[in-house]
Chains A and B, each alone.
Chain A
Amino acid sequence: MKSRLSDAVLHLALLGWGLVVTLPLVWAVLSSLKTDAEIFASPWSLPAEPQWDNWVRAWQEASIGRYLLNTVIVVGGALVLVMLLGSLTAYCLARYEFPGNRAIYYALVAGMLFPVFLALVPLFFVVDRLGMLGTYHGLILVYAAYALPFTVFFLHAFFRGLPTSVSEAAFIDGCSHTAAFFKVMLPMARSGMVSVGIFNFLGLWNQYLLPLVLNPDPDRYVLAQGLAALAVSQGYSSDFSGLFAGLIIAILPVLFAYVLFQRQIRSGLTAGAVR
């Protein structure tokens, strides 16, 4: 049948893009295990013997290990903070009537319309004046503040959709407002929290502009900054294998997370886009 033939063509097209996506990554992994001489000899050759030493060098001498730790601290701290504050804010705005409710909601959501570049200059001076330039807590607070609008926007719709009867029952049972939120409403919003949590995690993990401006201390560099700095310095010392190793180490955590949670990650991110 004719459609058999065209099916084969379609498969070829799909496979083609699959190669376009995977080839650079496979090539980077292979290069991270080669010697510099092998890298220069041919982009295609396999390493004669895997040079795990490249990875050790990247981890220790090129400080990828330290950058990773810095990133975990900053992103972890900001994520906990924004999820706590964001869910509380969204819950209050979605479930309580009070004067100013709408105004606060729109002021928060409007934050999504502004490019961060616009805030960059004054933000630098705000953080500087607070003495928080190049500190973990400074970055954590800024990251959380900029992730807040989307978090509130997403969870607001979520808390709106939850039935009122449950929280009323909780109040009748003598629950305080705080307990009703943490013990009853928050667990019910779990799937929304997971979606927005994944969205925020990736957004913050990949942040480059904010740390570039607010985090000038090389000891506190996050992974993105560290890699960029490494690309410059290793380029001069032409330790390409070390740089490839650093690159792969930076990709691995995300790859592992993706392998484990690929379905949630894809649906979480696409759910974020359609809203």
Chain B
Amino acid sequence: MRHGKNRFLVGALAAPLLLYGVFVVSPYAQAFYLAFTDWNGLSGQAEAVGLANFTALWSDRLFLAALRNNGLMLLAVPLLTIVLALFFAALLTMGRSDRHGGIGGIQGSGAYRIVYFFPQLLSVAILAVLFQFIYTPKNGLLNGLLEAIGLGSLGRAWLAEPAWALPAVMAVMIWAAVGFYVVLFAAAMESIPRDVLEAARLDGAGRLTTFRRITLPFVWDTVQVAYVYLGILALDGFALVQIMTVGPGGPDNSTEVIGLTLYRSAFTYGKFGYASAMGVTLFFLTLSLTMLALRATRRERVEVA
């Protein structure tokens, strides 16, 4: 049986490891090196500049604007998405309470899930083009909707006003993500033992108390996983901004994101070393976010009695 084991292993692993080494490992490794050089794309002309790229980042107004916007997205997008998703998931799984104190999913729960989930499947390019039209001032859906309910005066050129452009972009992210997390949270909520919930209900706990004291602690792990994924999403935003916004990144850099600054530095201005320094910064931001969330998960685990 051991016959030919090594030949099999070498044959099986050679191709994937070569592929991974050439297209994934080597670019990542090179990026860390390039971040400390002033390379502009011409071979053999990379001069080591130490930390100069990183110090330059801190006085780069564009990069600081990007950092601020990604920071705002990091605060708002995961929070709003998770709150909305928890709310709808709770309604779907324990909205109905029958006369006998039993708790069950609301009618049509499956259909809601099917519909809510769909936007998750749309590519960012489709989302960006679709919402660009929804936000169009003259014949867009949003202003048309506001007009239809008598709030026409609130209508505006959503993507052309610095104060509204970033919220408009964030709304697209939230719109697309909520359904996925509804399905995720609803599945977690369904695994809560029924008798625990029903006992709470019999003890006179209202819906809100039950949700706060039982449901939320039970699904907390899943919420933290969701936070990591949504945080990573919020640190990106490149495709939406690049396709949707004026500039892109405008107006007045109000929708500039790190990915866009990086892309432009590299492929418009040819400042490849500088762009790599941004990549390294983004990597450490992502990594700290993941670490924080993972540490938090380890600390608070709910024991199922």
**Residues of chain A having any CB pair with chain B under 8 Å:** 1, 3, 6-7, 10-11, 13-14, 17-18, 20-25, 27-28, 31, 39-40, 42-44, 85-86, 88-89, 91-92, 96, 98, 104, 107-108, 111, 113-115, 117-127, 141-142, 144-146, 148-149, 152, 168, 171-172, 176-178, 181, 202, 205-209, 212-213, 223-225, 227-228, 230-231, 240, 243-244, 247, 250-251, 254-255, 258, 262, 265-266, 269-270, 273-274
Q: Which residues of A contact B280 (CB under 8 A)?
A: 118
| Min C-beta distance of A79 to chain B, whole Å | 14
Tell me whether B27 and A123 are in contact (CB under 8 A).
yes
| Min C-beta distance of A87 to chain B, whole Å | 10
Tell me whether A121 and B139 are in contact (CB under 8 A).
no
Assuming the A-B contacts A88-B16, A251-B126, A258-B121, are A270 and B180 also in contact, with contact meaning beta carbons closer than 8 angstroms in the complex? yes
When the two chains form the complex, which single residue of A21, A28, A115, A225 contacts B125, counting CB atoms closer than 8 Å? A225
Tell me whether A223 and B24 are in contact (CB under 8 A).
no
Q: What is the bound-complex CA distance between A7 and B19, given in angstroms? A: 55
Instruction: Indicate with 1 or 0, residue by residue over B150-170, a CB within 8 angstroms of chain A CB atoms.
Output: 000000000000000000000
Within 8 A of A (CB), among B78-105: 84, 87-88, 91-92, 95-97, 99
Assuming the A-B contacts A145-B20, A205-B123, A254-B122, are A177 and B30 also in contact, with contact meaning beta carbons closer than 8 angstroms in the complex? no
Tell me whether A7 and B96 are in contact (CB under 8 A).
yes
Give me 14 A-to-B residue pairs in the complex whose CB atoms sit less than 8 angstroms apart, sorted by A's number: A10-B91, A13-B88, A14-B95, A21-B179, A96-B9, A115-B286, A118-B276, A122-B34, A126-B22, A208-B124, A212-B242, A228-B242, A247-B129, A262-B117
Q: Which residues of A contact B129 (CB under 8 A)?
A: 227-228, 230-231, 243, 247
Q: Let me know if B249 is at the binding interface, CB within 8 A.
A: no
Tell me whether A85 and B120 are in contact (CB under 8 A).
no
Tell me whether B16 and A86 are in contact (CB under 8 A).
yes
Q: Let me know if B8 is at the binding interface, CB within 8 A.
A: yes
Q: Which 4 A-B pairs have the closest CB atoms?
A: A43-B144, A206-B123, A224-B125, A177-B8
Tell me whether B243 and A10 are in contact (CB under 8 A).
no
Q: What is the bound-complex CA distance between A23 and B116, given in angstroms? A: 12
Q: Which residues of A contact B238 (CB under 8 A)?
A: 117, 209
Q: Let me know if B279 is at the binding interface, CB within 8 A.
A: yes
When the two chains form the complex, which single residue of B116, B128, B263, B278 contacts A18, counting CB atoms closer than 8 Å? B116
Tell me whether B13 and A92 are in contact (CB under 8 A).
yes
| Min C-beta distance of A141 to chain B, whole Å | 6
Tell me whether A119 and B24 are in contact (CB under 8 A).
yes
Tell me whether B106 and A11 are in contact (CB under 8 A).
yes
Assuming the A-B contacts A24-B134, A118-B280, A251-B126, are A43 and B121 also in contact, with contact meaning beta carbons closer than 8 angstroms in the complex? no
Tell me whether A142 and B23 are in contact (CB under 8 A).
yes
Among B13, B91, B184, the most chain A Cβ lie within 10 Å of the Cβ of B13
Q: Let me know if B192 is at the binding interface, CB within 8 A.
A: no
When the two chains form the complex, which single residue of A10, A28, A274 contacts B130, counting CB atoms closer than 8 Å? A28
| Min C-beta distance of A35 to chain B, whole Å | 12
When the two chains form the complex, which single residue of B97, B128, B139 contacts A43, counting CB atoms closer than 8 Å? B139
Q: Which residues of A contact B239 (CB under 8 A)?
A: 208-209, 224
Tell me whether A228 and B125 are in contact (CB under 8 A).
yes
When the two chains form the complex, which single residue of B9, B126, B180, B275 contacts A269, counting CB atoms closer than 8 Å? B180
Q: Is the interface of A mostly helix, strand, loop or mixed?
A: helix
Tell me whether A202 and B121 are in contact (CB under 8 A).
yes
Question: Given contacts A17-B88, A208-B239, could you give 5 more A-B pairs where the C-beta distance is less than 8 Å?
Answer: A118-B31, A122-B26, A148-B16, A273-B184, A274-B225
For chain B, the count of residues having a C-beta within 8 Å of the partner chain is 100
When the two chains form the complex, which single residue of B12, B124, B278 contacts A88, counting CB atoms closer than 8 Å? B12
Tell me whether B106 and A14 are in contact (CB under 8 A).
yes
Q: What is the bound-complex CA distance between A244 and B148, given in angstroms? A: 22
Q: Let me know if B48 is at the binding interface, CB within 8 A.
A: no
When the two chains form the complex, which single residue of A31, A168, A274 contacts B222, counting CB atoms closer than 8 Å? A274
Q: Which residues of A contact B115 (CB under 8 A)?
A: 18, 21-22
Q: Which residues of B contact A31 (CB under 8 A)?
A: 133
Tell me whether A270 and B144 are in contact (CB under 8 A).
no
Tell me whether B20 and A117 are in contact (CB under 8 A).
no
Tell me whether B23 and A177 are in contact (CB under 8 A).
no
Q: Let me know if B210 is at the binding interface, CB within 8 A.
A: no
Q: Which residues of B contact A202 (CB under 8 A)?
A: 121
Q: Let me know if B202 is at the binding interface, CB within 8 A.
A: no
Instruction: Indicate with 1 or 0, residue by residue over B170-185, a CB within 8 angstroms of chain A CB atoms.
Output: 0000010011100110
Tell me whether A119 and B106 are in contact (CB under 8 A).
no
Assuming the A-B contacts A17-B116, A202-B121, are A85 and B19 also in contact, with contact meaning beta carbons closer than 8 angstroms in the complex? yes
Tell me whether A148 and B95 are in contact (CB under 8 A).
no
Q: What is the bound-complex CA distance between A21 and B244, given in angstroms? A: 19
Q: Which residues of B contact A25 (CB under 8 A)?
A: 118, 130
Within 8 A of A (CB), among B281-299: 282-283, 286-287, 290
